[in-house]
């Protein structure tokens, strides 16, 4: 996933249904000698059944919690879409504009408190590590860097086949990936993680080798490819970005239908368009284990 030099200003056209990070606050500077507990937080985004097609989907949202021993205060940190999931996955087709218009950014949100009931009742709230105040402060600097340079949300993982060793053409960039990066950063700083099973959700598309199509200007600009521009617009036409989670999944099934019938998918990734020659099983939502990282214990003399 490409890193960018800065986060672009959001266009006023992009309106969130729910305010992003409404109670967010700056990450506090912890005292070096503080001992901070690190918690893994996970709960279902929305559980539903859709006939026998995909059965019961485990679509989870991930976050990380911290508790300071010195102050007793709890904090939650997560990463999610600025304009909700639909906007990150589907563009708007605006009248008078040739190119699809994307309202797609993701960012970290940090706030005081952990909603124990939410995480415990539906999912997971478990202690995974203990770190020093020094490590926490180093992590905070990294979060700032990560947030300023990794700005676009990416819903899809694209790989060649369901085989574990299969080629990954494109990696997703969403809430769980941020949590995994955070754990890795803490491990690099010397955090030691407990040996517990940790699973994450991925939405995977299966495709032959992707074909590079170009960027917005080369496809939709004055010298662009009118046929290709029309094909991309037609592909995105059925999907509506402003929608509830339920509507998002209805559109997801429209996509599956389109993809299976026509064996094609147009992917917008790092500001570029790609054609995916889709192949069976086309799309899978998986909930699989990703182990907690093993770090370098010596790096902070812990």
- State whether 52 and 186 are in the same domain: yes
User: Of 276, 263, 284, which Cα lies nearest the Cα of 204?
Assistant: 284
Question: Minimum mean pLDDT among 45-54, 56-65, 131-140, 254-263: which range?
Answer: 45-54
Q: What is the mean pLDDT of residues 211-222?
A: 95
Q: Is residue 57 very low, low, confident or very high in pLDDT (cuts 50, 70, 90)?
A: low
In-domain check, residue 297: no
Does pLDDT of 297 surpass 70?
no
Q: Is residue 47 very low, low, confident or very high in pLDDT (cuts 50, 70, 90)?
A: very low
Return the structure tokens found at 157. 């993982």
Number of structural domains the chain divides into: 2
Question: Minimum mean pLDDT among 45-59, 102-116, 184-198, 252-266: which range?
Answer: 45-59
- State whether 230 and 145 are in the same domain: no
In-domain check, residue 218: yes
Lookup result for tokens 């490590």:
135
* Residue 61 among the catalytic residues: yes
Does pLDDT of 298 surpass 80?
no
d(CA 239, CA 248): 8
Of 149, 175, 199, which marks where a domain is finished? 199
- State whether 249 and 184 are in the same domain: no
Describe the strand order of the beta sheet including 106-112 as a list of residue ranges: 106-112, 74-81, 60-68, 35-44, 124-132
Q: What is the mean pLDDT of residues 91-106?
A: 91
- State whether 190 and 244 are in the same domain: no
Q: What is the mean pLDDT of residues 269-295?
A: 90
Catalytic residue among 88, 103, 175, 258: 175
Q: Is residue 296 very low, low, confident or very high in pLDDT (cuts 50, 70, 90)?
A: low
In-domain check, residue 29: no
- State whether 246 and 182 are in the same domain: no
In-domain check, residue 162: yes
- State whether 101 and 163 are in the same domain: yes
In-domain check, residue 3: no
Residue 257's domain spans which residues? 211-280
Please report the sign of the dihedral spanned by the C-alpha atoms of residue 150, residue 289, residue 251, residue 64.
negative
In-domain check, residue 24: no
- State whether 42 and 179 are in the same domain: yes
User: Of 182, 199, 188, 195, which Cα lies nearest the Cα of 75?
Assistant: 182
Q: What is the mean pLDDT of residues 4-25?
A: 86
In-domain check, residue 8: no
Does pLDDT of 252 surpass 90?
no
- State whether 155 and 222 are in the same domain: no
- State whether 191 and 268 are in the same domain: no
User: Of 65, 19, 130, 89, which Cα lies nearest the Cα of 252?
Assistant: 89
User: Of 194, 109, 99, which Cα lies nearest the Cα of 143?
Assistant: 109
H-state helical runs in the chain: 84-89, 116-122, 133-149, 175-188, 216-220, 226-236, 245-262
- State whether 153 and 225 are in the same domain: no
Does pLDDT of 50 surpass 60?
no
* Residue 175 among the catalytic residues: yes
What does the pLDDT read at residue 256? 74
- State whether 188 and 65 are in the same domain: yes
Question: Minimum mean pLDDT among 31-35, 80-84, 110-114, 274-278: which range?
Answer: 80-84
Q: What is the mean pLDDT of residues 151-170?
A: 93
- State whether 168 and 247 are in the same domain: no
Catalytic residue among 61, 88, 103, 109: 61
């Amino acid at each position: 996933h490409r890193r960018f030099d800065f986060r672009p200003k959001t266009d006023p056209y992009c309106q969130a249904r729910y305010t992003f990070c409404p109670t967010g606050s700056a990450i506090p500077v912890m005292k070096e000698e503080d001992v901070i507990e690190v918690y893994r937080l996970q709960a279902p985004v929305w559980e539903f059944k859709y006939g026998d097609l995909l059965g019961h989907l485990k679509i989870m949202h991930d976050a990380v919690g911290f508790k300071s021993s010195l102050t007793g205060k709890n904090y939650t940190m997560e990463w999610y879409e600025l304009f909700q999931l639909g906007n990150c996955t589907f563009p708007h087709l605006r009248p008078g504009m040739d190119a699809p218009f994307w309202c797609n950014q993701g960012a970290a949100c940090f706030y005081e408190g952990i909603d124990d009931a939410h995480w415990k009742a539906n999912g997971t709230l478990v202690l995974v590590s203990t770190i020093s105040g020094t490590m926490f402060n180093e992590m905070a600097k990294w979060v700032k860097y990560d947030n300023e340079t990794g700005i676009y949300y990416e819903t899809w993982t694209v790989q060649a086949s369901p085989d574990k060793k299969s080629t990954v053409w494109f990696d997703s960039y969403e809430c769980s990936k941020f949590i995994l990066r955070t754990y890795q950063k803490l491990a690099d700083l010397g955090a030691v993680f407990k040996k517990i099973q940790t699973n994450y959700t991925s939405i995977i598309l299966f495709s032959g080798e992707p074909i590079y199509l170009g960027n917005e200007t080369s496809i939709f600009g004055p010298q662009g490819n009118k046929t290709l521009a029309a094909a991309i617009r037609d592909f995105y036409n059925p999907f509506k970005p402003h929608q509830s989670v339920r509507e998002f999944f209805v559109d997801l099934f429209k996509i599956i239908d389109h993809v299976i019938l026509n064996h094609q998918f147009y992917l917008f990734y790092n500001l570029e368009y790609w054609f995916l020659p889709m192949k069976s099983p086309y799309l899978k939502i998986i909930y699989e284990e990703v182990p907690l990282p093993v770090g370098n214990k010596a790096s902070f003399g812990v």
